Structure 1
Amino acid sequence: MLNFDEQRFLRIQSGAVGLQAGLERVIGSCLSAGADNIFFLGTGGAAILMQPAAQLLQRRSRFPAFIDLPAELVLTGSANLTEKSIVVMPSLSGTTKESVALLEKLKTIGATVITLVGHAETPLGKGGDHVFVNFAEDDTSCESFYLQSLFIALAILKHRGEIENHDTIVAELARMPELLLAVKRAYEPKAEAFAAVLAGSDYHIVTAAGNVWPEAFYYGMCILEEMQWIRTRPVHASDFFHGTLELVEKGVSVILFKGEDALRPLADRVQAFAPNYTDKLAVLDTAEFDLPGISPEVRALVSPVLLATVLERISAHLEVMRNHPLTTRRYYKRVTY
């Protein structure tokens, strides 16, 4: 595979899986101590990667789950953010400015803070009440964060008696590192062609629904815009028909991500509409990826993980094709802002 270290990938994703027992133990302790809600409070891309887990809880559990922005909470607070809150703060670097600022406020509030970081010797690595460290870099962090947050959500469902097959699901998820690597290998021959689609336009409408919508948002903002300087319009598939459809015409690129959860029909609707008006519809569908031995239920849960792992292969070809390394920045962490 192009510019890819298989053993490094396995080591990082196995590290994420290896955190499951500890995350479950901490969540159980928090619930036993009387926690009454959970906040997923990341910044930027790390925040987006928490959304599928939060959505799972919002749809499956009566335990309140919130997503909010640290930069706003520092200024306003929240009536629901109290000493009985569990706060999950992901940050690959462990130094994200907005999250570090909120951490100080959380200490005052008395919330229980779980940090998910790539580096221990950092403000967030040292500042959480419970710190989970799994080294990763930009090209491997998506899968790692998706899995860690999913383990947290599943642990809440288990301890509240809102899921019957938790252990079976976790056993299947434990196989994901090797399975994801196999998906990468199988998709590699197709990755360059999809990269050519992305390189072929300077503007893309990127859309999806359900638990893969965050990956569409993430890939548009954090990869195509930040790392490739390609303009995008991420829009949820349910909102596609409330404004964005008017921009669809011949020559306009529409990128559709499809997952396997109950919200798939919303993506089907876009897929049925777009080809009538544009000649540039590209679809990336997790149902096309082989995951031997994985149940439909777990396939639905890991759809965003699958997309992330395939899009990494696409991005590896895209940066070469455009002679624009994914590490190139003009402003991000380069100037004062």
Structure 2
Amino acid sequence: MLGFDADLYQRVIGGAGALRSQIDAIVDEVAATGYDSIFLIGSGGSYAAMWPYEHLMTRLSTVPVRSAIAAELVLTGDPRLTERSIAIFSSLSGTTKETVAALEYCRERGVTTIALTGYADSPIAVADHVLVNWADDETASESVDIQLLLLTTALLHRRGEFDDYERLANELADLTSVLTRVQEQADPIAEAFAKKHVETDYHFLVGTGMLWGFTYNYSMCILEEMQWLRTTRVHGAEFFHGSLELIDRDTSLLLFVGEDETRPLMDRVLRFAETYNDDTTVVDTADYPLDGISPEFREFVGPIVVDAITIRFSKHLEAARRHDLTTRRYYRKVEY
């Protein structure tokens, strides 16, 4: 497959799953101390990556959970953020200045901090608990999603709110072969999309539930940041409150459909698209066999699956448009 490094992928995916014992130890410690709230804090893609797990915990738990933009939290504060809170941070490089500042803000207030990073010596590795798994930019999403799914379901399990943690964690031990097969299945679809849209400069993305954070992330951090393409991103439930007026017959409409309880919202969007649009691409996790993943867990691994699918889209867009995914004009290039 174009741009696919099997050894690197094994290192990242297997490495994320191998953090389970460390995650269990962290959760045991914070559960023993006790906590009253959970904050999921990040910037950009790392912020959007928190949304599925806010969604998951809000559905299954009574504990207050909030995903927060790091820079905004430091300016506005939150009276629920106290020494009885857990704050979870993610930054692959560990150098995102807004995330580093938010971590220090939390530490100053006695908040228990947990950091996910790719480097043991990164600035956010000063958190109370640190999970380290190296990844490159293209595999970081899978790494973070696997870790966050393990971490949040472990927290729920210790609270008596998710009895199936042990079984789920065992199935997440090493998803390399499962996700490689997902990429192989998605590759010809992605290649055809890239060839069709080599000149398209505007894409409209829609998702819900466990996939809404991914939809936002792929729109902003991949298509906009890495390909300089104009996009609109909208939640499937909000699509019918004005955004649908932007859809023409030839609008590139990209729908991310998962298997959680919000799927009917995307079915509604798809029905509209089938009637009024001739350029709809559907990425549906239900189309992909996931050997070794129990049917009841498919909704939880949805973000990980679309991570793998859209790596193929990104690599083929990069090649077809001759626009390297690492090229930037402004991000980390100019003062902001």
Q: TM-score, normalised by structure 2?
A: 0.97
1:25-48 deviation per Cα after TM superposition (whole angstroms, max 9, x unaligned): 212211211211111001110111
CA apart distance, 1:194 = 2.2
Structure 2: 5+ residue stretches without partners: none
Matching of residues 215-294 of structure 1 within 5 Å: 215-294=214-293
Indicate the percent of aligned positions where both proteins have the same amino acid. Answer: 45
**Is contact 1:207–1:257 with CA below 8 Å preserved after alignment?**
yes
Where does residue 38 of structure 1 map in the other structure?
38
> How many Å separate the matches in 2 of 1:35 and 1:178?
37
Helix, strand or coil: the match of 2:42?
coil
Where does residue 118 of structure 1 map in the other structure?
118
Where does residue 55 of structure 1 map in the other structure?
55
Helix, strand or coil: the match of 1:229?
coil
> How many Å separate the matches in 2 of 1:195 and 1:301?
28
> How many Å separate the matches in 1 of 2:18 and 2:173?
8
Asked whether 1:311 is paired with 2:316, we answer: no
CA apart distance, 1:216 = 1.0
Where does residue 89 of structure 1 map in the other structure?
89
Quote the RMSD (CA, aligned, Å). 1.2
Helix, strand or coil: the match of 2:147?
helix
> How many Å separate the matches in 1 of 2:33 and 2:117?
24
1:77-116 deviation per Cα after TM superposition (whole angstroms, max 9, x unaligned): 1101101111101000100010111122112100011010
> How many Å separate the matches in 1 of 2:157 and 2:304?
22
CA apart distance, 1:119 = 1.1
Matching of residues 72-221 of structure 1 within 5 Å: 72-125=72-125, 127-221=126-220
CA apart distance, 1:185 = 2.1
1:281-312 deviation per Cα after TM superposition (whole angstroms, max 9, x unaligned): 11111111111232121111111111111100
Q: 1:287 to 1:229 in 2, by over 3 A?
A: same
Residue type at the aligned position of 2:259: E
CA apart distance, 1:275 = 2.3
> How many Å separate the matches in 2 of 1:190 and 1:241?
28
**Is contact 1:43–1:69 with CA below 8 Å preserved after alignment?**
yes
Where does residue 19 of structure 1 map in the other structure?
19
| Count of matched residue pairs | 336
Q: 1:197 to 1:58 in 2, by over 3 A?
A: farther
> How many Å separate the matches in 2 of 1:306 and 1:226?
22
> How many Å separate the matches in 2 of 1:16 and 1:214?
20
1:185-225 deviation per Cα after TM superposition (whole angstroms, max 9, x unaligned): 23223220122344342111100111011111111000000
> How many Å separate the matches in 1 of 2:182 and 2:312?
10
Where does residue 328 of structure 1 map in the other structure?
327
Helix, strand or coil: the match of 1:235?
strand
Q: Which moved more, 1:172-181 or 1:75-84?
A: 172-181
Helix, strand or coil: the match of 2:206?
strand
> How many Å separate the matches in 2 of 1:2 and 1:296?
30
